[in-house]
Structure 1
Amino acid sequence: MLDPEVKPSPAREIAHRGKGCLAVVLALAVLVFGGYFVWDRTSTFLSGIGEVPDYPGPGKAAVTITIPEDSSLDGIGSVLLEDDVVKSSKAWDAAVRAEPRATSIQSGRYLMKTQMKAVDALNLLINPGESRVRAQFTVPEGLRLSAQVTALAKATKIKKSAYEKALDDPSSLGLPSYAKNRPEGFLFPDTYELTADATATSTLRQMVSQYKNVTDDIGLEAEAKKLGRSPYEVLIVASIIEREVNQNQYRAKVAQVLYNRLDAGMKLGLDSTVIYAENLKTNTTTPEDQASKSPYNTYRYQGLPPGPISAPGKAALEAAANPEQGDWLFFVTVNFKTGETKFASNEADFEKIRAEFQQYCRDNPGTCDS
């Protein structure tokens, strides 16, 4: 036991006080850190309560939205949420509360995007402009450019002269560089949404844009390079395939026949190109037709015609870009009703399938010449 009369040394007293100060500092640190932790968690929780889940925009994939008649703003929000246009009903409600014109939204069809910022989606519906769909129109596969224009004028109620004027300025259509301002074959056949503010130029641009989307999907330019062809040559082959056969199972074989004949230095000898050249309304051609001096006459001139003879669909484009390997040099559609097509690798076998076709024509009068 320490003698009460003996005072601690100064050094020992300083050490004792130092330990006490350290304890106080540690206690304060615990309190400060603990307080900050609680504050951080609490503020995060509170801010989370007020946060409105919303997409940053501007949007991703194109989507067509239908607003039914007599829809409430809540109902419209539900449609947008279901199609992933807006992220949450809270974001939509917040946008609606801040916009007095929200009640002016009309029923109908609208071209929008998925994952839009709610306020942007609302503004588009209030001021739709070219996003308001007036109607749908379909342009079928295999039409030449002039026939496409006629079909467009009828389906869209935009004057034929307006389309012709737009085509006179092909640089405004967004054509691929390899088109060299030649629109034939680049107006992709499909079903489209016609917007309220659509013009002839905007409609044609929409079709060219779809051509680009489809050919990008199938990698047409890369596949053309593998084949040792230009993208434009592959498009020409696709346009021929579209006119020559109507069954998918034969398209890639026909593509190979065309490439084989080109590589062998043979004339293609195709009725479809003569029909295009002379604007005929038949399925076959006569010797007189085949004497045409048009550069599209593949009975007279070797190689591909100078341009597409139709607007091919996706199946024909895929076939032209990915021919089925084989040594065929001839093909004949032996039955126009079923589309059955047969192939041959030599003249003798070709004569057999041609005789089969001629018999079909005799058995079905009027089928082969109209």
Structure 2
Amino acid sequence: MTDDLGLFADEPGERRRAPDPERFRRRKRRRIVTAVASLFVLLLVGVGVLYGASQIMQIGSYENYEGEGTGDIVVEIKPGDTVSAIGRTLAERDVVASTKAFTKAAEENRQINSIQPGYYLMRNKMSGEAAVAHILSAAAKVGRVDIRAGMRLEDQLAPDNGHTPGILTRLAEATCAGANPTCVTAEEMQRVAATADLASLGVPQWALADASKAEPNRRLEGLIQPGLYDVKPGETAENVLRDVATRSAAQLEIAGLPQAAEGTGYSPYELLKIASLVQSEGIAKDFGQISRVIHNRLTHPVMHLQLDSTINYPLDKPSLLTRPEDRGIDGPYNTYRNYGLPPTPISAVSKEALQAAEKPADGTWKFFVKCYPDGTSCFADTQAQHDAYINEARARGAF
């Protein structure tokens, strides 16, 4: 008879194993890790939902001051700055409360894209709208100096017996901005121009020796090139002159100096002098011929340049006409009495005048005179031809 209990007995080799404690612990750890990971995912989702909701709630919301602001503050807009970059600069200086306050207001004004690099006088704590309107106004732009060809370092006499500001005065005036500015005076600018180390100011190496020999107040004449210069309000005279002279040296290098002087028989500084005479004596269309007259006279053994512009230069007169008594004054700039070129250039020169000095027009002329009211000159080979042109010029009312 079969034992009933035998029906449920384990077959040989199939007895139940005792529980494995290590295996149980591993399963427990997996359950805990899974639970923690699930909780972390839920937290991330929750944070994302909350952040998204906050962003949705804040659409169109940003910090912005109210009103026109107070006080004065100078900010610099750099080349290549975008509207956002300008907004960040204004926000960092506390002109506006946030970048978005400015950029949002700027969206309504297309003129914002016309902002030029340079310095702007703004106010503290302006609304974005006020900042946009103000930075686009003429009153905001400060420190810009437009130096034109033919200008001189020192002030000149004006026809009404007043004075026309020279380059140094204009640079000094540009350091002033705001209600309580810290300004460089014209006298301080002139003092630094006359005494500062020329090399430290950025004067090119090829000009140092000759410029150092000049009268102190004329050392930088001709070495400051025409162009737009942005002067930082409140800056020192030395820093202003260093920036302007360094930029001018780069412009002269682009124009070809000193390499262009090679093979001309003149030094780079002498070519700069010739260019300044060309600039001061006529209009652009005549530059090449005027340069030729100067070159021809310089190579003639017994001819003076006889240029009225050099007579009037130390007298600070802009006129091309001179009086007999002025021509009789002794001095290094009197080209009626002295042979050769004056000690320094006599004005800022354009690239056209410099090119004419380097490569004068072909011709045998030795005389010229302004013979038409528009400034056009007539050129002659002989004194007799020249005298005839003078009479014609007077008849036309040219001078």
Q: Same fold (TM over 0.5)?
A: yes
SS for the counterpart of 1:214 is: helix
Letter in 2 for 1:160: A
Structure 1 unaligned segments of length 5 or more: list them: 1-62, 77-101, 112-132
SS for the counterpart of 1:226 is: coil
Q: Does 1:145 align with 2:153?
A: yes
Q: Which moved more, 1:161-170 or 1:249-258?
A: 161-170
**Structure 2 counterpart of 1:312, from 346, 349, 355:** 349
Distance of 2:338 and 2:377 partners within structure 1: 25
Distance of 2:99 and 2:278 partners within structure 1: 52
SS for the counterpart of 2:263 is: helix
1:169 aligned residue: 196
**Structure 2 counterpart of 1:179, from 205, 208, 211:** 208
Q: Does 1:299 align with 2:318?
A: no
2:173 aligned residue: 154
Answer yes or no: is the 8 Å Cα contact 1:298–1:305 preserved in 2.
yes
CA drift at 1:67: 4.9
Q: Which moved more, 1:144-153 or 1:324-333?
A: 144-153
CA drift at 1:69: 8.5
CA drift at 1:281: 5.1
CA drift at 1:340: 1.0
Distance of 1:156 and 1:196 partners within structure 2: 4
Which has more helix, going by share of residues?
1
Q: Does 1:237 align with 2:263?
A: no
Q: Which moved more, 1:156-165 or 1:259-268?
A: 156-165
SS for the counterpart of 2:231 is: strand
1:231-290 per-position Cα deviation (integer Å, ceiling 9, x unaligned): 111111111111111x22111111111011000121000100000133335330121111
1:338 aligned residue: 374
Answer yes or no: is the 8 Å Cα contact 2:171–2:231 preserved in 1.
no
Distance of 1:105 and 1:321 partners within structure 2: 54
Give the percent of matched residue pairs that are identical in Structure 1 and Structure 2. Answer: 31
CA drift at 1:105: 11
2:390 aligned residue: 354
Distance 1:105 1:67, change over 3 A: farther
TM-score, L = length of structure 1: 0.61
Answer yes or no: is the 8 Å Cα contact 1:327–1:345 preserved in 2.
yes
CA RMSD of aligned residues (A): 3.4
Distance of 1:174 and 1:236 partners within structure 2: 19
Distance of 2:298 and 2:225 partners within structure 1: 26
Answer yes or no: is the 8 Å Cα contact 2:150–2:279 preserved in 1.
yes
2:291 aligned residue: 255
Rg larger for: 2
Distance 1:284 1:257, change over 3 A: same
Distance of 2:79 and 2:243 partners within structure 1: 15
1:323 aligned residue: 360
**Structure 2 counterpart of 1:65, from 57, 60, 80:** 80
Distance of 2:394 and 2:87 partners within structure 1: 65
Letter in 1 for 2:298: L
CA drift at 1:195: 3.3
Distance 1:194 1:273, change over 3 A: same
Distance 1:176 1:106, change over 3 A: farther
Number of residue pairs aligned between Structure 1 and Structure 2: 256
SS for the counterpart of 1:220 is: coil
Distance 1:237 1:106, change over 3 A: farther
Structure 2 unaligned segments of length 5 or more: list them: 1-77, 91-97, 104-114, 119-140, 155-165, 177-183, 213-218
Distance 1:193 1:353, change over 3 A: same
Answer yes or no: is the 8 Å Cα contact 1:66–1:109 preserved in 2.
no
SS for the counterpart of 1:138 is: strand
1:76-135 per-position Cα deviation (integer Å, ceiling 9, x unaligned): 9xxxxxxxxxxxxxxxxxxxxxxxxx9699998657xxxxxxxxxxxxxxxxxxxxx854
Distance 1:210 1:323, change over 3 A: farther
Distance of 2:327 and 2:376 partners within structure 1: 24
1:44 aligned residue: none
SS for the counterpart of 2:313 is: helix
1:163-212 per-position Cα deviation (integer Å, ceiling 9, x unaligned): 12321214231111223333121111211122356432222222222322
CA drift at 1:223: 2.1
Distance of 1:249 and 1:328 partners within structure 2: 16
